[in-house]
A and B are shown apart, each in its own frame.
Chain A
Amino acid sequence: MSDVKNVLEISDTKAIEQAFESLCHEYEARKGGFYLNQVSGGYQIRTRPEYKKWIKLLLRTGSARLSKAAMETLAMIAYNQPVTRGDIEHIRGVDCGGILRMLLERKLIRVHGRKEVPGRPMLYLTTGFFLEMFDLKDLKDLPTLKEMEDLRNDKQKTREQRTWIG
């Protein structure tokens, strides 16, 4: 938003937001290969997931996949930041040094200071790129426990249905 304001020399936030909205609708109506997305505190044009198969063939890039262990470590950091390596290992019960290194290299997490306890371990946070990668507007946009509750309730319902039929 600030980039737009500075470059176009407009200070009316509302007007810019409306402009973005109409652009968004335009792209939606067009049903083309891309759409306008609100992510990581800004706006970004992205390709539609429906066409991912072809785009992947075109770009021939390696997979952006993360292992379950890596995802769990990332989730641990995302929801509890800042955390130390010890905090993560206490919950997951395994050594995650290699995973942390990989996440740092991929710029999904970063170090931000040290905890003021003996040993002064490093504190980890997620980065702006993490928000971009998982299509989040900001950290408040992280899926909440409520959505998790709904997931659990759905599983419970299907389980109950099964026992009825059982």
Chain B
Amino acid sequence: MGSEELRYNVDLENVFEGPMDLLVHLVKRNDVDIYDIPIALITDQYLEYLEMMKAMNIDIAGDFILMASTLTQIKSKMLLPSDKDEEEDDPRSEISAPLEEYFCIKSLAQILAKRNRLGEDTFVRNVCLKDMSLKPEDKIIKADLFELIDAFQRIINRLSPEHKVEFKAEGISVKKKISEIAEFLEAKGNASFDELFSGNTEKYQIIVTFLALLEMAKVCLIRIVQHVRTGVIRVFYFKD
């Protein structure tokens, strides 16, 4: 959705990532007090924007339409005569509460961004503490990508040659596999490479597991290390 909006950016002042962004823009532009939103005005302007986007052939995401219906609903609730006996919440709170929190976060983010940032305003000398903390007897080296591929190859070769790669509809996704591995490691703390692959009889499962491990290593969810002597590769759940 984002790239399409950028293409037709010519007439729109802003690229709106989501309905919240658009709402915030309207609130700012009209200098509205979020504790007393003129709901009719905001709703009308919001719908105008959607019309503009439609006219420019921009696909409007479902979120925008959901927000439009929410705003319209609130607007109609405000038009109904208020029952003085009943104490009802201001229907605008459905919008003003998340708006307020959003403004809050935006301001806090701005304040944070102003601080002296490491790597931008101030710098330190890089000391690699990790290399210094290993015990000499227990020497572990970070697994080389090629070692990983070797280990992976060995596991694949153990499979009987008849197994073909079949992409079934019910096949497990990498995302699900990451969750599975995370759960397993949360309980055990660490596991050997072979342990993680045991129970996988199909080629696609092994591939998905391997991809999941690579992804988890990339976002530092796990650490992969190899014992110098035995060559056993072990996966550790990353603890800060």
Contacts and interface: CB of A to CB of B under 8 A. Distances in A.
Interface of A: 37, 44-49, 52, 55, 59, 61, 63-66, 68-69, 71-72, 74-76, 78-79, 90-94, 101, 104-105, 107, 110-114, 120, 122, 127-128, 132-136, 142-143, 145, 147-148, 151-152
B179 interface: yes
Nearest to A113: B186
Contacts of A65: 120
Give the one of A61, A64, A69, A145 with max B CB within 10 A.
Answer: A64
Nearest to A72: B109
Contact of B182 (A79, A122, A127): A122
26 contacts: A47-B122, A47-B124, A63-B120, A64-B117, A64-B119, A71-B109, A72-B106, A72-B109, A75-B109, A91-B105, A93-B18, A93-B19, A93-B63, A94-B17, A105-B220, A114-B183, A120-B179, A120-B183, A134-B118, A135-B115, A135-B118, A135-B122, A136-B115, A143-B108, A147-B111, A151-B111
B118 A71 contact: no
Contact of B240 (A45, A59, A76, A127): A127
Contacts of B218: 105
Given A113-B186, A145-B104, A74 B122 contact: no
Contact of A91 (B98, B186, B220): B98
Given A64-B119, A69-B17, 19 more contacts: A45-B125, A48-B122, A49-B116, A55-B123, A61-B119, A64-B120, A66-B113, A71-B109, A71-B113, A76-B105, A79-B105, A93-B20, A104-B219, A104-B221, A114-B182, A120-B179, A148-B111, A151-B107, A152-B107
Contacts, number: 124
Interface string B170-185: 0000000001001100
B21 interface: yes
A71 B114 CA distance: 11
B168 to A, nearest CB: 23
A59 B116 contact: no
Nearest to B125: A45
A105 B112 CA distance: 20
A126 B20 CA distance: 25
Contact of A59 (B117, B123, B179, B220): B123
A64 B182 contact: no
Nearest to A105: B219
B105 A64 contact: no
Contact of B122 (A49, A66, A71, A107): A49
Interface in B82-119: 98, 101-102, 104-113, 115-119
A46 B122 CA distance: 6
A39 to B, nearest CB: 9
B152 interface: no
Contacts of A114: 182-183, 186
B219 A132 contact: no
B122 A72 contact: no
Contacts of B101: 91
B123 A134 contact: no
* Interchain residue pairs A-B with the least CB separation, the first 7: A64-B119, A93-B20, A93-B18, A94-B18, A75-B109, A104-B219, A49-B121
A104 B182 CA distance: 15
B197 interface: no
B4 to A, nearest CB: 15
